[in-house]
């Protein structure tokens, strides 16, 4: 197992934007399944799940960035102890930057040090209380594992589904996942991405919304619900949902940035 990017996924049905600034002060970029940065022209043709990333513009020293990247490289080689040390050094140089702590948490997760992973995910959440990649999902799931609501290792098992590229294989595994853990909302979020029809997507999204989702998962479910509604011609409900997500103080900054991006793209059509 190696370190992977934890960028969230969203269905791009009709529209998207790349490199768009938002009122929340963040930048949204989109990539395909291979990690290729997509241009606005590419995105106009996109009809499936894409990976999005939301960036802050805060300054980080080159030394901290270099140590962080070295840590990711070490993790990709399976040198987890070295990765932990490098992430720790990067965090010491940039104590307000969530990324090194986030990747340190994930490294602990790969090593099945679940308590240590939760500690570092919570530290990441302290640095970015309105969301940083899948931090809030990780905290929510690991806490529920500790309480016995979910079996220990569920979040790790879920994360190991992320790199699977074959859509049919991934759909089958996710179907087994949601059948076994119907109260695990992130599973429904991913399952919705691979649904073959809009009706099936909506069913999966609705089941995820009923499963007490964490704020990050809830935001993506609602964004995708709005996109499916928009693609089926239900424009007013879709626009209302997006505006409510922007105005909701409980929305993650990533959700707000994406909703603002989508509203701008709709207005431009």
The domain in which residue 80 lies consists of: 8-268
Per-residue confidence (pLDDT) for residue 186, from 0 to 100: 96
In a domain? residue 1: no
In a domain? residue 199: yes
In a domain? residue 122: yes
What is the Cα–Cα distance from 207 to 57, expressed in whole angstroms?
35
Helix, strand and coil percent figures for the chain, each rounded to 5: 60, 5, 35
**What are φ and ψ of residue 213, in 5° steps?**
-70, 150
Across the beta sheet with 49-55, the strand order is 8-11, 49-55, 27-31, 20-21
Per-residue confidence (pLDDT) for residue 11, from 0 to 100: 46
Q: How confident is the model at residue 59 (pLDDT cuts 50, 70, 90)?
A: confident
- Residues 6 or more apart in contact with residue 243 via CB below 8 angstroms: 259, 263
Flag the least confident range among 11-25, 186-200, 238-252.
11-25
Number of domains composing the chain: 1
**What are φ and ψ of residue 97, in 5° steps?**
-90, 115
**Mean pLDDT of the 147-175 span:** 92
pLDDT surpasses 80 at 159:
yes
Per-residue confidence (pLDDT) for residue 54, from 0 to 100: 54
Token digits of residue 191 = 């399952």
In a domain? residue 140: yes
Per-residue confidence (pLDDT) for residue 40, from 0 to 100: 59
Mean pLDDT of the chain: 84
Q: What is the CATH number of the domain that holds 15?
A: 1.25.40.10
Q: How confident is the model at residue 53 (pLDDT cuts 50, 70, 90)?
A: low
Token digits of residue 167 = 């859509």
Token digits of residue 67 = 């140590």
Per-residue confidence (pLDDT) for residue 58, from 0 to 100: 66
**What are φ and ψ of residue 37, in 5° steps?**
-65, 130
pLDDT surpasses 60 at 110:
yes
pTM for the predicted model, two decimal places: 0.82
In a domain? residue 21: yes
In a domain? residue 239: yes
What is the Cα–Cα distance from 127 to 185, expressed in whole angstroms?
24
What is the Cα–Cα distance from 8 to 52, expressed in whole angstroms?
6
Q: Are 154 and 141 a contacting pair, CB within 8 Å?
A: yes
In a domain? residue 2: no
pLDDT surpasses 60 at 5:
no
Per-residue confidence (pLDDT) for residue 254, from 0 to 100: 83
**Mean pLDDT of the 52-58 span:** 57
């Amino acid at each position: 197992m190696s370190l992977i990017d934890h960028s969230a996924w969203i269905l791009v049905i009709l529209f998207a934007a790349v490199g768009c600034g938002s009122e929340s002060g963040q930048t949204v970029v989109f990539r395909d399944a291979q990690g290729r940065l997509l241009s606005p022209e590419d995105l106009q043709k996109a009809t499936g799940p894409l990976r999005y990333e939301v960036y802050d513009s805060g300054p980080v020293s080159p030394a901290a960035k270099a140590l962080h990247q070295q840590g990711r490289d070490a993790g990709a080689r399976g040198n987890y102890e070295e990765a932990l040390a490098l992430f720790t050094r990067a965090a010491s140089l940039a104590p307000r930057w969530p990324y090194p702590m986030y990747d340190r948490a994930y490294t602990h997760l790969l090593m099945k040090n679940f308590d240590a992973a939760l500690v570092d995910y919570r530290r990441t959440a302290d640095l970015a209380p309105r969301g940083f990649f899948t931090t809030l999902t990780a905290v929510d799931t690991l806490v529920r594992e500790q309480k016995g609501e979910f079996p220990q290792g569920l979040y790790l098992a879920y994360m190991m589904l992320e790199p699977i590229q074959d859509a049919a294989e991934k759909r089958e595994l996710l179907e087994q996942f949601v059948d076994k853990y119907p109260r695990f909302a992130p599973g429904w979020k991913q399952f919705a991405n691979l649904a073959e029809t809009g009706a099936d997507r909506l069913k999966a999204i609705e089941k995820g919304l009923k499963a007490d989702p964490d704020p990050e998962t809830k935001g993506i479910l609602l964004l995708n619900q709005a996109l499916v509604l928009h693609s089926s011609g239900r424009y007013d409900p879709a626009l209302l949902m997006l505006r409510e997500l922007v105005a909701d103080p409980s929305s993650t900054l990533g959700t707000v940035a994406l909703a603002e991006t989508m509203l701008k793209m709709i207005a431009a059509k």
